[in-house]
């Protein structure tokens, strides 16, 4: 076979880079021994500067950055979800709840000193009462938390299982310093004695005062005492008929604030979500965040109030607003992080 210079010159670039087979190398070597032109061509190739092969890495770096971002976002979303679960659980257990009369009141008794003793169930943590706005009515309520209610049921002292002698001995052993037997009995049995409303010489009103130069304005035992129904303040429970007359038992300070807020949040969330559906852009994304916040606020209102959207002003203002704000912010941040993670995985 006649090997021409043109064939050898085609092989020289590979030969110079040592990228030919042994047979091709032997063929080129034989030719170079007798051809000065091809030998010079090979020398020129070896003198030429080596051009590094450029590898396109921009796309690879972008993929690597996306994977790293997705991992960090996944971890942050999982952490925020855990925080949301803990916050929601804490609020569910620790938010003030208002039991019904059947759950809260175990008995009512008029004492010799004129005080009206109201026996509350164990687990009740706070009380409230008012007579302003009605001459013949006294409205009372009490609150607790799900945590305290469950703790009293599961771990509280079972006073009902004691005999009278055992109960008296228990009260004596657990009386505080300077506390009479009756006071210790009332505290341990969770009995609250209502005397009435007193006016100080300066014109201030205080309940249950038994000392000082104060004027008795009204006596609780002389009124109809109503336990406020937390689920329907327009239908309360009469626990003491001291006024000896028929009254409607409806307090004048029923509040529908949470019902209005809940309705507004639901309406705003629905309108915004329908408006921004399938729309993209920074402004639309901001409206989407507002819609998520409104939906979170609606869920938080139901959670914190236990569905009691119509209640009295006193109940409506006690710790509920702070808890609703905390829960709304937590749920909103969690929802936004889940949305961001979804968008990252989608792209």
pLDDT top residue among 66 and 187: 187
Q: Which stretches of 124-256 are DSSP H helices?
A: 146-155, 164-173, 181-189
User: Which pLDDT score is estimated for 331?
Assistant: 96
Q: What is the pLDDT of residues 27-67, one digit of tens each?
A: 878 787 888 788 887 787 777 766 555 555 666 777 777 78
d(CA 305, CA 145): 12
Under the banding of pLDDT at 50, 70 and 90, the label for residue 213 is: confident
d(CA 298, CA 272): 14
Give how far the C-alpha of residue 101 lies from the chain's centroid of Cα atoms, to the nearest Å: 29
d(CA 193, CA 90): 32
Q: Which stretches of the chain are DSSP H helices?
A: 5-16, 22-32, 36-47, 58-94, 101-104, 146-155, 164-173, 181-189, 257-275, 282-305, 313-317, 320-346
User: Which pLDDT score is estimated for 314?
Assistant: 74
Under the banding of pLDDT at 50, 70 and 90, the label for residue 335 is: very high
pLDDT top residue among 157 and 140: 140
User: Which pLDDT score is estimated for 135?
Assistant: 82
User: Which pLDDT score is estimated for 49?
Assistant: 67
User: Which pLDDT score is estimated for 51?
Assistant: 56
CB 185 within 8 A of CB 171: yes
């Amino acid at each position: 076979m006649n090997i021409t210079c043109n064939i050898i010159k085609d092989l020289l670039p590979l030969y110079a880079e040592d990228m030919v087979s042994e047979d091709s190398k032997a063929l080129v070597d034989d030719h170079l021994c007798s051809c000065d032109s091809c030998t010079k061509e090979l020398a020129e190739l070896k003198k030429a500067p080596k051009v590094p092969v450029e590898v396109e890495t921009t796309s690879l770096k972008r993929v690597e950055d996306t994977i790293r971002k997705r991992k960090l976002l996944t971890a942050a979303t999982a952490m925020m979800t855990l925080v949301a679960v803990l916050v929601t659980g804490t609020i569910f257990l620790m938010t003030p709840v208002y039991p019904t009369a059947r759950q809260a009141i175990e008995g009512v008794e008029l004492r010799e000193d004129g005080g009206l003793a109201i026996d509350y169930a164990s687990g009740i943590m706070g009380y409230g009462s008012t007579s302003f706005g009605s001459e013949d009515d006294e409205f009372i309520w009490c609150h607790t938390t799900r945590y305290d209610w469950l703790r009293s049921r599961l771990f509280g002292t079972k006073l009902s299982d004691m005999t009278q002698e055992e109960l008296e001995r228990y009260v004596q052993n657990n009386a505080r310093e300077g506390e009479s037997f009756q006071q210790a009995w009332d505290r341990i049995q969770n009995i609250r004695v209502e005397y009435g409303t007193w006016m100080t010489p300066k014109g201030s009103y205080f309940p249950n005062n038994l000392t000082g130069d104060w004027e008795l304005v009204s006596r609780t035992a002389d009124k109809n005492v109503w336990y406020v129904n937390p689920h329907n303040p327009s239908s309360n429970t009469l626990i003491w008929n001291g006024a000896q007359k028929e009254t409607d038992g409806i307090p004048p300070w029923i509040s529908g604030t949470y019902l209005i807020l809940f309705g507004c949040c639901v309406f705003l969330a629905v309108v915004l979500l329908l408006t921004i559906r399938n729309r993209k852009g920074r402004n639309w994304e901001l409206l989407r965040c507002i819609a998520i916040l409104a939906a979170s606020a609606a869920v938080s209102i139901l959670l914190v109030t236990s569905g009691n959207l119509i209640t009295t002003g006193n109940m409506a203002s006690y710790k509920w607003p702070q808890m609703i704000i905390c829960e709304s912010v937590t749920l909103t941040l969690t929802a936004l992080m889940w949305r961001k993670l979804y968008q990252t995985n989608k792209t």
